[in-house]
Structure 1
Amino acid sequence: METEIPAMLRAREQILPERFTFHSSRMRMKKVTAEELAAMDADSDRCALELSDARVDVLGYACLVAIMSMGKGYHRASETRLHGRTVENNAPAPVVTSAGALVDGLHVLGAKKVAIVAPYMRPLTQMVADYIDHEGIKVQDWLALEIPDNLEVAAQDPQNLLSHYKKLDLTGINALVLSACVQMPSLASIQKVEDELGLPVVSAAVCTTYQMLKKLDLEARVPNAGALLSGRY
């Protein structure tokens, strides 16, 4: 999130008048395990409070799997609670979670059936698929890259996704989630895969950017970032 969302907003600045600043507060995690994810989520209230000190206009919760590992539909509870922290600090700001944004983005595209690529171990990837299924979107197939180390996830070459996605059963899908994790880079391949596939291609970061722009009441348009950020939605 700290690389790709600013990159998208900077690209937007080349074609539209709004300008953005980016602020972050970090929840700690090293290994992508259920225990570390739970501890990480517990730290989110502190982060929301710290960021509201800066009177930001919107907050984005970066870890998709930390939200999804807390139970189906948890993104709604998280967004409500963290917004409450900003209200208590007299700096009310909407909160977007990457988990909720991914689900919302797929609904905006009208996707009923999708395939997903994720860096997680297989049990966590299955859990992500189940979470998306529970939100009314069928996960036709998923690919788990099985990378446990969080820094290694961030070091992945997005060009590898050009071949990874071809391992999926894409029969009848309406959209492809090229990275179900904001930590795994994918932006450089989103438009390329979409052009190859002829279907909407999104990532958790793309969907989070879309949702943030909508919360700011701004046009959701970013060049070369796929259909969801084309300005058509």
Structure 2
Amino acid sequence: MTQTHFRIGQIVPSSNTTMETEIPAMLRAREAIRPERFTFHSSRMRMHKVVREELEAMNRQGLRCAAELADARVDVMSTACLVAIMAMGPGYHREVERELQAIALENHCDAHVMTSAGALIEGLQIIGARRIALLAPYMRPLTDLVVQYIEHEGIEVVDSRCFEIADNLEVGRRDPMQLADDVRELNTSGVDAVLLSACVQMPSFPAIQLVEDRIGIPVVSTAVCTTRRMLDHLGLEPVVPNAGALLSGRYPLPAGKGTVAAL
């Protein structure tokens, strides 16, 4: 029997209010045009300020969260913090994914395990982006680490703007439509894509399609990339209305290829 109901698991910073809003919003929009249905489940890691010390402490809680989500027998499990992983050094998302996968399996759960950091890289690869511009809420030193992480994966960051907001709750309160004005300050000449929110906490979903239609190139966010890779791992058509190019159906994976590593 074909599976039509899926459990979505997220490992979420305790002060994050966005990933449990935007991921469900995208998948609920998909439910209006496709038959699959989703429920949403989270486990939380304590974090208040987006500074390296708190990010390192938060990362140590991830294994406990993976075990808790495994108990719910989720179908896909993802971290919901990008900078906590990217601040730890190039390629770190692969190590995290291996560790979380092992914990899930130890707890009798065969969920597909991913990270929002890995999903961002893979999403950009799927659309063939080699040069991007991005917006981020972080302090400049953390933004620079994100830029370095992305560039280590072979994607040039032509320009970046950061809003230097340390309080994670304040990031989550930002009006997503403000990004439609913020993006005007970016140098997007010759870029293949714009990363409208290089952060899982900075809301952006309502502005994605509007900005993409205006500038005429693919526009993504970390939440959009995470949703895309969740659908890929579940073997579902990566289509969400009004969520930009990556979720438009224009960029399918090759037949039988569930992960970008298999491309």
With the shorter chain as reference, the TM-score category is over 0.9
**CA deviation string 1:2-61 (max 9, x = no partner):** 100000000000000000000000111000000000111111000000000000000010
Give the aligned partner of residue 185 of structure 1: 203
- In the aligned structure 2, how far is the partner of 1:186 from the partner of 1:52? 29
Give the aligned partner of residue 43 of structure 1: 61
**CA deviation string 1:199-219 (max 9, x = no partner):** 000000000000000000000
Give the aligned partner of residue 84 of structure 1: 102
Secondary structure (helix, strand or coil) at the match of 2:114 reads strand
Query: Which among 74, 78, 82 is matched to residue 64 of structure 1?
Result: 82
**CA deviation string 1:137-183 (max 9, x = no partner):** 00000000100000000000001001101111111100000000011
Give the aligned partner of residue 96 of structure 1: 114
Query: Which among 212, 215, 222 is matched to residue 194 of structure 1?
Result: 212
* AA of the residue aligned to 2:174: Q
Matched, 1:204 2:204: no
- In the aligned structure 2, how far is the partner of 1:214 from the partner of 1:222? 13
Secondary structure (helix, strand or coil) at the match of 1:184 reads coil
Matched, 1:150 2:168: yes
Normalising by structure 1, we get a TM-score of: 0.99
What value does the CA root-mean-square deviation take over the aligned residues? 0.5
Structure 1 residue 95 displacement after superposition: 1.3
* AA of the residue aligned to 1:122: R
Stretch moving more, 158-167 or 89-98: 89-98
Unaligned runs of 5+ in 2: 1-18, 252-263
Structure 1 residue 112 displacement after superposition: 0.4
Give the aligned partner of residue 219 of structure 1: 237
- In the aligned structure 2, how far is the partner of 1:71 from the partner of 1:129? 11
Matched, 1:52 2:52: no
Unaligned runs of 5+ in 1: none
* AA of the residue aligned to 1:91: C
Secondary structure (helix, strand or coil) at the match of 1:117 reads strand
Secondary structure (helix, strand or coil) at the match of 1:24 reads strand
* AA of the residue aligned to 1:85: I
| Count of residue pairs brought into register by the alignment | 233
Secondary structure (helix, strand or coil) at the match of 2:195 reads strand
More helix as a share of residues? 1
Matched, 1:14 2:46: no
Which structure 1 residue ranges, 4+ long, deviate > 2 Å from structure 2? none
Give the aligned partner of residue 139 of structure 1: 157
* AA of the residue aligned to 1:70: M
- In the aligned structure 1, how far is the partner of 2:34 from the partner of 2:249? 12
* AA of the residue aligned to 2:80: A
- In the aligned structure 2, how far is the partner of 1:92 from the partner of 1:34? 32
Structure 1 residue 96 displacement after superposition: 1.5
